[in-house]
Amino acid sequence: MSFTFSKATKKQSRLRFDIEGPPGSGKTYSGLAIATGLCPPGGKIAVIDTERGSASKYAGQFTFDVLELDNFAPAKYVEAIAAAEAAGYDVILIDSLSHAWNAKGGALEMADKIAKRSSSGNSFNAWKDVTPEQNKMVDAILQSRAHVIVTMRVKTDYVLEKDERTGKTAPKKVGLAAVQREGMDYEFDVVGRMDHTHSMTITKTRCSAITDAFIEQPGEQLAKVLRDWLTDGVAEPEPMRMPAPVKVDAVQARLEHPRLKMLFDQLGAPPAKRLATLERYPDNDKLIQILEGKVKEEDLAKEKIKGVFAKQLAGVHDEPAPGQEAPQ
């Protein structure tokens, strides 16, 4: 195998932005403000909301569509991102990515459940199953055709800080590590840390124009700088947007189940009867047993009828012809 190097060229790209901060620091609002600034005229913003509808409280200030998740398995994030791409959204805001780590159905809960089911109870081994799911979610973010902005909660603590104006010491809430897998911030182009004043400090960036920047109430201006940076380069062909995958209706899929279809056909069940039966019996295996029993009952009934007809026919043949006496 041969390796060939070529001259590096800057290409136009899509943004991957991580906004971190403690509760109340303005992560959601800032994410919406930056997303709005990034969105082209006539474009669309999709919000994947895990915060019980918190993003929708800003619907009067920003225009966006929302999908509220109630299960936070990494695979659900992958599905939501794919749905947003298929629908043609230009910017995806995930608020927040922390739920995929430590909320219901998240990576930590997945590992815990796998460990409890195993004979050893070893959570270390459980991560062999969980890590691939986490990696698929990261890949979905990085490979998305849309700009992707995520928010992450941070662990908080309090420190005593002296107020320079009053000279008094007061507790101040500070953010520590982000609530996600360690090293997650490496995956993003820009990482901004929000504080209690709703200001953002850029802690990591590939855009030199905002290196170590301190930005009060980040929004349109920051989005413009990032947009200029993202579009400064060689244009790549716009990826073809694939149509949204058509999900086969669950009932229709069951109607096409080979064994169920054959049994329904044998019974001569009309469409309405088939649908009603499927709704009554949601488990395919149990329904197959029931239908097989019905088929056997009908087969036995048919055999019984055949036997009756056979006896009747035999009786007709045994009767003497007119004018003849029965044998003595």
Give 267-325 pLDDT, tens digit per residue.
Answer: 888 887 888 888 888 888 888 989 998 888 888 887 877 776 667 666 655 555 555 55
Task: Say whether pLDDT at 76 is over 90.
Answer: yes
Higher pLDDT, 244 or 205: 205
pLDDT value at residue 258: 83
CB 179 within 8 A of CB 98: yes
pLDDT value at residue 282: 83
Check the CA dihedral 212-216-218-222 and report its sign.
Answer: negative
Which residues are bridge partners to 20 per DSSP?
152, 193
Same domain, 215 and 283: no
Domain-embedded: residue 202 = yes
Check the CA dihedral 164-169-175-176 and report its sign.
Answer: positive
| Cβ atoms < 10 Å from Cβ of 3 | 4
Q: How distant, in Å, are the alpha carbons of 102, 169, 310, 327 from that of 316?
A: 82, 115, 10, 15
Domain-embedded: residue 244 = no
Rounded CA separation 49/144 (Å): 18
Number of domains in the chain: 2
| Cβ atoms < 10 Å from Cβ of 252 | 10
Same domain, 213 and 260: no
pLDDT value at residue 244: 45
Q: What angle do CA 253, 254, 259 make, to 5 degrees?
A: 120
CB 198 within 8 A of CB 26: yes
Q: Is the pTM of this model over 0.85?
A: no
**What residue type is 307 in one-letter code?**
G
Same domain, 25 and 96: yes
pLDDT value at residue 248: 46
Domain-embedded: residue 23 = yes
Domain-embedded: residue 328 = no
Residue with tokens 């599905």: 79
Same domain, 194 and 134: yes
pLDDT value at residue 300: 86
pLDDT value at residue 260: 86
Q: What percent of the chain has pLDDT over 90?
A: 56
Boundary residue ending a domain (231, 265, 299): 231
Rounded CA separation 162/1 (Å): 63
Same domain, 170 and 305: no
Task: Say whether pLDDT at 94 is over 80.
Answer: yes
Report whether the peptide linkage leading into residue 96 is cis, meaning its omega lies within 30 degrees of zero: yes
Domain-embedded: residue 90 = yes
Domain-embedded: residue 158 = yes
pLDDT value at residue 45: 98
Domain-embedded: residue 256 = yes
Same domain, 35 and 131: yes
Helix, coil or strand: residue 136 = helix
Same domain, 143 and 221: yes
Q: Where are the alpha helices (DSSP H) in 11-162?
A: 27-38, 74-86, 99-102, 107-117, 123-142
Question: Which of 104-118, 150-164, 233-247, 305-319 shows the highest mean pLDDT?
Answer: 104-118
Rounded CA separation 91/235 (Å): 18
pLDDT value at residue 259: 85
pLDDT tens-digit map of 157-204: 666 777 777 888 877 655 578 999 999 999 999 999 999 899 999 999
Same domain, 114 and 195: yes
Residue with tokens 């190097």: 5
Boundary residue ending a domain (169, 200, 231): 231
Rounded CA separation 138/148 (Å): 11
pLDDT value at residue 252: 74
What's the mean pLDDT in 210-239?
Answer: 89
pLDDT value at residue 249: 58
Q: Which range of residues forms the domain containing residue 254? A: 250-317
pLDDT tens-digit map of 134-162: 999 999 999 999 999 999 999 876 667 77
pLDDT tens-digit map of 17-71: 999 999 999 999 999 999 999 999 999 999 999 999 999 999 999 999 999 999 9
* DSSP letter assigned to residue 245: P
| Cβ atoms < 10 Å from Cβ of 215 | 17
